[in-house]
């Protein structure tokens, strides 16, 4: 299984920080409550996960490494 909680916390400590990050790229339609649920449920909808990966690549100038978020039991 992918550790979405660790991914979220490592890149954006909370929903407010993630909402601000998205807003810097013009994405304002997501409400903080919706993002907060990702943290609570420890998952990200697939379409938004792809968006986050793309934005992280733009932000960092290189693709985001995600292999470290795989739990041992899923391999």
* Ranges of each domain in the chain: 4-74
Q: What pLDDT shows up at residue 30?
A: 94
Q: What is the CA radius of gyration of the chain?
A: 12
CA distance 18 to 69: 18
pLDDT confidence band for 73 (50 / 70 / 90): low
Instruction: Check pLDDT > 80 for residue 75.
Output: no
Alpha-carbon torsion 56, 25, 29, 16, what sign? Answer: positive
Q: What pLDDT shows up at residue 58?
A: 97
Give per-residue pLDDT as tens, 24-37. 999 999 999 999 99
Contacts 24+ apart (CB under 8 A), 15-19: 15/39
């Amino acid at each position: 299984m992918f550790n979405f909680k660790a991914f979220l916390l490592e890149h954006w400590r909370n929903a407010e920080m993630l909402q601000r990050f998205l807003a810097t790229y013009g994405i304002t339609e997501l409400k903080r409550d919706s993002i907060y649920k990702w943290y609570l449920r420890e998952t990200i909808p697939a379409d938004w996960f792809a968006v986050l990966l793309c934005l992280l690549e733009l932000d960092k100038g290189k693709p985001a490494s995600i292999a470290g978020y795989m739990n041992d039991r899923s391999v």
